[in-house]
Amino acid sequence: MGERPYVIDQMISAKAIAARIEELCDDIRNEFADTEKLVVVGLLRGSFVFIADLVRELDMSVEVDFIEASSYGDAMESSREVRILKDLRGAIEGRDVLVVEDIVDTGHTLHHVINLLKSREPAKLRSIALLDKPTRREVDFRADWIGFEIPDEFVVGYGIDFAQRNRNLPYIGKVRFTNDA
């Protein structure tokens, strides 16, 4: 498959993301005020930048773990079949857990992961997503906290990739193909 040329138009600036993370962390601290140590679970790979900024801003005791689930591969469309590629290292039974996702699109991945983690009987289980595309939802699921609601656009940056590229952009950008007829 030949690569189609594209450009990236900035949608959400690094400054706007940082400001929103501060607001979200206030809510998270309030929700988990009585928690001895919060288990923050990042969904790899797209959430790694978001989770790093989130835990640095939280100023509370946290333990970080990761789970890798896939429903995209290198495609632009979800396959709707969620596979767990890497599971948590630690137990979460009886613990307070925050699941961190980069983007909720169809909802299949986060819904699957939340149900999997619920079965492990955490004391409290909440979720946060940097981006939400509600017009694409196929599963009745909404994260407890959303950074930004966005239209149905293919986006990259701030950890989110297109075929393993553009994760390192400090902002969220919309992919626009330059040779579309």
152 is catalytic: no
Catalytic residue, chosen from 34, 105, 132, 144, is 105
Give the integer Cα–Cα distance in Å for 140 and 88. Answer: 25
Structure tokens at 132: 């939400």
Structure tokens at 162: 């297109």
Give the integer Cα–Cα distance in Å for 63 and 147. Answer: 22
Cα angle 139, 73, 9; round to 5:
85
Beta-sheet pairing, 145-149 with 83-86: unpaired
Q: So which residues are the catalytic ones? A: 105
